Amino acid sequence: MSRYEFRPACAEDAAEVAAFNERMVAAGQPHRLSTEYAFEALRGVPADGPVRLSHFLCLVDGRVRGGVSVREQAFRLCGEEARIAFYGYPLSEGIINPEFGMTGLMIHKEIVRRYPLLYGLGVGSLDAPVAKLMTGTGWSSQPVPFHFAVLRPRPFLRNLVYLRVRRGVRALLDLLALSGLGNVGLGLLRLAQAARGRRPDCRGLTIELFETWAGWADDVWQAVADRYTLIGDRSAATLAALYPAGHPQIRKIRVSSGGRTLGWAAFSAAPVRGHSYFGDMTLGALIDMLAAPEDAQAVASAALAAARSTRAAVLVVNHSAAAWSAAFRQAGLLAGPTNSFLFLAPGLRRRLDPIQPGAPDFFFTRGDGDGPVHLWA
């Protein structure tokens, strides 16, 4: 009978992890395990900081056959503090070798046992194996709305892989881009949006780029934390760990009005190459943000204005809170199909009872998952 072992990864596992990765490569799978970091995009997070990153391995008869990463931090849950973990999804050799088909389920059960207050974020599709694993074991799921704003029509139309793969669409998009009709169309769209009152409004706002988080960020966090039913800690110490000063791609803005800080936003505007949705363009993405619900439109407008000052062809954002979806629409962003979903484990759902899954004031952004991955080359 095979002997299963589930434990934290360590440096001595490097050779076994490398062998596992070689088997995945040989089978044409892009996914990898690492003993050096739990999440590639969060590899700079200090080990002794407010965000704890852990990586676990599953061994069968002494050989690595899978692994999973977990990110744990403080949350505000119905006005109380709780330690909640993000589930980085299990990687199992079972996807290439049926002999280890149960490895993923074993990893899943072990993580749920160790971290009962657990959520998942992203995934890409409810048909993905990990999504089916979660929903099949009693997790709730809800879509995380997606919004976007086209900033530069020509590179956007020339690189929108999502649409260009469709028959007949590529030629139309090229025509719009090369003829200048894309610019005309964008202008007409903005006029139509403005006629409905949907446009960025930066009147009276002070928008400052900054590098270092300070006490004002704590003030914002303390003022708004309990305005949301479920929200991850966004104190200055946590933000400094996630979005440190000097990061080469992440830009941060502080938004104020009348001398009062309304909130902040962290975004990127960087080239991507061969992106599955955006091809080769400069992609703008709102990674994280915070403000009271009534100030969300001001922060959304400020972030859009900041992104327009870059070379980004498009600005994209996912956010679970209904107030922020309304704010993005009011600022002129468009809604699109989402590939991001929020999953809540049964233990976390019980802590939220009687609040139903899908509550409109759950606050989750890209920053609450495995970090700003796939946002730059």
Contact (CB, 8 A) for 232 and 75: yes
Enumerate residues 6+ apart whose C-beta is below 8 A from 131. Answer: 123, 125, 141, 341, 343
pLDDT tens track for 138-160: 999 999 999 999 998 888 877 76
Burial class from Cβ neighbours inside 10 Å (0-12, 13-18, 19+) for residue 197 reads exposed
The predicted pLDDT at position 198 comes to 73
Distance CA(301)–CA(262), nearest Å, equals 12
Using DSSP's 3-state secondary structure scheme, residue 75 falls into strand
- For residue 350, name the pLDDT band (cuts at 50, 70, 90): very high
C-beta of residue 332 within 8 angstroms of C-beta of residue 200: yes
Q: Which CATH number, 3.40.630, 2.60.40, 3.40.50, 3.60.15, labels domain 146-211+246-336? A: 3.40.630
- pTM of this structure: 0.91
What is the C-alpha to C-alpha distance for residues 212 and 215, in angstroms, rounded to an integer? 10
| pLDDT band with cut points at 50, 70 and 90 for residue 238 | very high
Structure confidence at residue 42 as a pLDDT band (50, 70, 90): very high
Average confidence (pLDDT) over 284-288: 97
Alpha-carbon gap, residue 275 to 308, rounded angstroms? 21
CATH topology agreement for domains 4-143 and 146-211+246-336: yes
- pLDDT of 186: 54
What pLDDT, on a 0 to 100 scale, did the predictor assign at position 277? Answer: 80
- Euclidean distance between CA atoms 297 and 198, whole angstroms: 10
Averaged pLDDT for residues 330-348: 94
CA distances (Å), origin 218, targets 87, 240, 261, 302: 26, 11, 11, 20
Q: Grade residue 233 by pLDDT with cuts at 50, 70 and 90.
A: very high
**Residues 375, 287: Cα–Cα separation, whole Å:** 9
Lowest mean pLDDT among 22-31, 121-130, 150-159: 150-159
Nearest in space to 291 (alpha carbons), one of 327, 262, 254, 251: 262
- Whether the predicted pLDDT of 314 surpasses 70: yes
Residues in the chain: 377
Average pLDDT over residues 212-232: 97
Tens digits of residue pLDDT in 178-217: 555 545 455 555 656 665 767 899 999 999 999 999 999 9
The percentage of the chain sitting over the pLDDT mark of 70, rounded to a whole number, equals 89
CB atoms within 10 A of CB 41: 18
pLDDT given at position 118: 97
pLDDT at 177: 52
**DSSP state at residue 206:** E
Q: Which residues pair with 140 in a beta bridge?
A: 344
What confidence score (pLDDT) does residue 360 get?
Answer: 85
Q: Is the pLDDT of residue 168 over 70?
A: no
Task: Tell me whether the omega of the peptide bond preceding residue 354 falls within 30 degrees of 0, making it cis.
Answer: yes
Partnered with residue 344 across adjacent β-strands are 119, 140
Locate the domains of the chain by residue range. Answer: 4-143, 146-211+246-336
Higher pLDDT residue, 191 or 376?
Answer: 376
Please state, for a pLDDT cut of 90, what percent of the chain lies above it.
73
In order of 96, 209, 233, 236, the CA distances from 206 in angstroms are: 54, 10, 25, 20
Provide mean pLDDT across the span 334-344.
93
Backbone angles phi, psi at 64, to 5 degrees: -70, 125
- Based on its alpha-carbon atoms, the radius of gyration of the chain, rounded to whole angstroms, reads 22
363: pLDDT strictly greater than 60: yes
SS3 annotation, 307-371: HHCCCCCEEEEEECCHHHHHHHHHCCCEEECCCEEEEECHHHHHHHCCCCCCCCCEECEHHHCCC
Q: What is the pLDDT of residue 292?
A: 98
**Mean pLDDT value across residues 2-24:** 93
CB count in 10 Å sphere of residue 366: 26
Residues 320-337: pLDDT tens digits? Answer: 999 999 999 999 999 999
Determine which helix (DSSP H) or strand (DSSP E) holds 122, and give its type and residue range.
Answer: strand 118-123
Average model confidence (pLDDT) across the chain: 89
Amino acid at 147: H
4-143: CATH architecture: 3-Layer(aba) Sandwich (3.40)
pLDDT higher than threshold 50 for residue 219: yes
Residue 176 has pLDDT above 80, yes or no: no
What's the one-letter identity of residue 90? Answer: P
What pairs with residue 269 in β-bridges?
Answer: 284
What is the tens place of the pLDDT at every residue in 46-93? 988 999 999 999 999 999 999 999 999 999 999 999 999 999 989 999
Q: Is 171 in a helix, a strand, or coil?
A: helix
